[in-house]
Amino acid sequence: MTKNSLYLLKWYAFSAGLGGLVLIGTIAAVRRGDYTPVIGLAIGLVFLCLSVLHFRRKTRLLFRNPTPDYAIAQYHNSWKRIPDGKAMAAYLSAFAAVLYGEYGRAREELAAVNWERCPPMYQGFESYVHSLLAIFQLRDYSKALLLAEEARDLCAVEGRFPGATKSSVALSSHVAVCRFLLGDVDRQILTQIETAARQTSGVSPAIPAWALAAYYTSEGRPEDAEEYLAIVNRLVPYGAALQDSHIRARR
């Protein structure tokens, strides 16, 4: 089992154990004729579901602001009390800064963490942001591809952990975007990127949508380009890095 799998297993085992204790306590109370824990558990589950929905909506709205300041502040505040939260906050903040075209700020966020001491998946998050910097700041697509492949491999997880499949799809699609920008424009890669632009969650579709807009612009197909630019503008309307649809994939 990989280090990532062991890391996730530790936290999911803790959560499962805690949930098991709550369940055992609830069953014991019901046997005594006390239904108060059942009511409390039901209320807690409803609150959890509503919190998840609120968090997802709030995450989407973070990128509706004209600067990344609010998103970055929220990330640091939300993750500061969680194990490895500093690394996660730095990754998310750097990601936000890249989308807004604040590349120096993204590098500052990453520099605040000693990534070598983090689990491999967090090192993969760092590589992913550096891949984005290679695309949008350096315009070095070869370097971006190497970093994207490194991120995908570092974030690999064995087993069916929640979110693992979505993460794998997102990182694999980013590798495809980098290959696409290097001129590897076969039907399979195009389909993979189109799927990512339409089906991945959060603001992740903005990057494959930007790549498709750039491609269709270079191909003289403005209507197709506008379709994907609309996705970019809906998700990250102030994302300076994503507003240039005239980047040409290499031939």
Check residue 200 and give its pLDDT. 76
Q: Region 116-130: what's the mean pLDDT?
A: 94
**Which of the residue ranges 104-108, 156-160, 194-198 would you say has the lowest mean pLDDT?**
156-160
Say which amino acid occupies 245.
S
- pLDDT of residue 51 exceeding 50, the answer is no
pTM (predicted TM-score): 0.79
Q: Cα 145 to the chain's mean position, in Å?
A: 17
Q: Region 103-115: what's the mean pLDDT?
A: 97
Check residue 14 and give its pLDDT. 46
DSSP state for residue 33 in the 8-state scheme: T
Check residue 250 and give its pLDDT. 44
Is the model more confident about 194 or about 6? 194
**Which of the residue ranges 163-167, 189-193, 229-233, 236-240 would you say has the lowest mean pLDDT?**
163-167
Check residue 185 and give its pLDDT. 85
DSSP string, 121-180: HHHHHHHHHHHHHHHHTS--HHHHHHHHHHHHHHT---S--TTHHHHHHHHHHHHHHHHH
Check residue 238 and give its pLDDT. 93
How many Å apart are CA 16 and CA 29, to the nearest integer?
20
Averaged confidence pLDDT in the chain: 81
Q: Which of 163, 103, 96, 90 is nearest to 139 (CA)?
A: 103
pLDDT band at residue 18 under the 50/70/90 scheme: low
Check residue 129 and give its pLDDT. 98
pLDDT tens digits for range 75-98? 999 888 788 889 999 999 999 999
DSSP state for residue 117 in the 8-state scheme: G
Q: Region 61-68: what's the mean pLDDT?
A: 89
pLDDT band at residue 249 under the 50/70/90 scheme: very low
